[in-house]
């Protein structure tokens, strides 16, 4: 069944909670069974139901586990036709740079918090030793 081709028109007909298709990287997924289980809530899926959800999916930065769940919902591929929206590229250098910049910020923030914690603990121990000495 995963080798079936769908047009944007076909996908757009499946935009309700009980019948929800979406497109991610030109693959068509039936998310109907996952709507109630989605950690981000059903509204997130319903907002992109019946359309290309690639940008929304990638912007969130889903885990490998989420991608495996998505693979299990695959029902076919998108057959692009004249007049369809152009696909957005996520393999470009700009996207990768953003990801690594975000990772660098995360590591830097983690280091600052860790150093702050060590300094606070040191100050606590120093003050405790001062109290015991009096």
CA dihedral for 58, 60, 64, 69, sign (positive or negative)? negative
pLDDT digits (tens), the chain, 134 positions? 567 999 999 999 999 999 999 999 999 999 999 999 998 889 999 999 999 999 999 988 899 999 999 999 999 999 888 777 676 655 433 444 455 555 666 777 778 888 989 999 999 999 999 888 76
pLDDT of residue 1: 54
Global pTM reads 0.63
Q: In what order do the strands lie in the sheet with 19-24?
A: 4-6, 74-78, 27-30, 19-24, 15-16
pLDDT of residue 96: 45
pLDDT of residue 88: 60
pLDDT of residue 104: 65
């Amino acid at each position: 069944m995963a080798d079936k081709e769908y047009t944007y028109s076909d996908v757009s007909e499946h935009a309700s909670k009980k019948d929800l298709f979406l497109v991610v990287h030109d693959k068509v997924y039936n998310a109907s069974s996952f709507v109630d289980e989605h950690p981000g809530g059903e509204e997130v899926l319903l907002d992109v139901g019946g359309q290309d959800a690639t940008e929304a999916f990638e912007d969130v930065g889903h885990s490998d586990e989420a991608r495996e769940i998505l693979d299990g919902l695959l029902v076919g591929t998108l057959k692009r036709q004249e007049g369809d929206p152009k696909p957005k590229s996520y393999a470009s250098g700009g996207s990768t740079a953003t990801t690594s910049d975000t990772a660098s910020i995360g590591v830097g923030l983690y280091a600052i918090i860790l150093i702050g914690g060590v300094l606070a603990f040191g100050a606590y121990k120093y003050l405790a030793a001062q109290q015991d000495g009096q």
